[in-house]
């Protein structure tokens, strides 16, 4: 980094935003296969938090690739940079007093661990949206698995590119056994138990 670039310390700090908002802030990182329900669960949690007056925001994989990460593809090095950028953006949101819900396949444990290192200790929750590949492929909401099976899409996670399930996530949501609403309630209960709300 250029030695002429110096971090400017803000007058208002994360603790001040948290005090004003009346709740903790941090990053809830939902990871799982395509079709596991990450985005649906994140949206349901966000809706419930909004109804309770909690400051929250969703960073969704597809949405981010329309703008901030539109220049990245799906090669391993692009996926790594995609997650790094999201981690940095998520940290900024968390510092502003927001509970950030991220919904990204984020297939590599190393990349998720790197994001954990970016975020302040205790402000990062890794949530594995666990759903068998067979169920995700059956759901196939975007028709991506079908394209991957026919070779139209190369390097698709779960088909010809690996997905590394979290080593020790803070929470596992079994989205094949529970509805979106039930998974959302489980996550909110976890946030309450850990005094984020």
Catalytic residue numbers, as ranges: 106
Q: How far apart are CA 55 and CA 122, in angstroms?
A: 18
134 is in an annotated binding site: no
Pair type for strands 26-31 and 171-174 = unpaired
37 is in an annotated binding site: yes
175 is in an annotated binding site: no
39 is in an annotated binding site: yes
Q: How far is CA 42 from CA 133, 153, 180, in A?
A: 20, 26, 9
34 is in an annotated binding site: yes
36 is in an annotated binding site: yes
For the beta sheet containing 56-60, the strands, ordered from the edge strand earlier in sequence to the opposite edge, are 56-60, 99-103, 26-31, 124-130, 171-174
Rg over CA atoms, the chain:
17
- Residues of the binding site for ATP: 32-39
């Amino acid at each position: 980094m250029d030695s002429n670039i110096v971090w400017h310390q803000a007058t208002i700090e994360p603790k001040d935003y948290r005090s004003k908002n009346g709740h903790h802030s941090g990053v809830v990182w939902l990871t799982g296969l395509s079709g596991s329900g990450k985005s649906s669960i994140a949206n349901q949690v966000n809706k419930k938090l909004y109804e309770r007056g909690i400051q929250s925001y969703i960073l969704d994989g597809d949405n981010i690739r329309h703008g901030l990460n539109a220049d990245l593809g799906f090669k391993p090095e692009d996926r790594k940079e995609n997650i790094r950028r999201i981690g940095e953006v998520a940290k900024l949101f968390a510092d502003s007093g927001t509970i950030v819900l991220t919904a990204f396949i984020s297939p590599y444990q190393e990349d998720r661990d790197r994001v954990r290192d970016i975020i302040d200790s205790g402000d990062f929750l890794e949530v594995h949206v666990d759903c068998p590949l067979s169920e995700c492929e059956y759901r196939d909401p975007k028709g991506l698995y079908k394209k991957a099976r026919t070779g139209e899409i190369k390097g698709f996670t779960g088909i010809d590119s690996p997905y590394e399930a979290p080593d020790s996530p803070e929470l596992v949501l079994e989205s094949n056994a529970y509805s979106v609403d039930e998974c959302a309630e489980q996550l909110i209960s976890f946030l309450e138990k850990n005094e984020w709300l």
